[in-house]
Amino acid sequence: MSRQCEVCGKGPQMGNSVEHRGKAKYLGGVGTKITGITRRQFKPNLQKVHVTTPNGTHKSIRVCTQCIRSGAVTKRVHAAPFKLPKAAAKK
């Protein structure tokens, strides 16, 4: 199982980790200098979510948080929402 979103396919990306030293000029220093650049990996924020599939079955998948927030997946309903009895609703 790879570190990849099963909905949008988002996976790890490579980037740089930049180290600075010194004090910024606007704070009274002589400026910051870059002292090192190393490669690093940016990993997606994956969550294991219980999802209801279109055919009605429930399944656990790894989804990135952006897909959860955007509504690309529908979470499984564990308990039905509370409903008032018909007699009490009329009063």
Select the more confidently predicted residue: 30 or 88.
Answer: 30
Overall pTM > 0.75: no
pLDDT tens across 13-38, in order?
Answer: 999 999 999 999 999 999 999 999 99
Query: What residues contact residue 59 under an 8 Å CB cut-off, 6+ apart?
Result: 50, 51, 53
- Check pLDDT > 90 for residue 83: no
Q: How far apart are the first and last CA of the chain?
A: 55
Q: Where are the domains of the chain?
A: 13-77
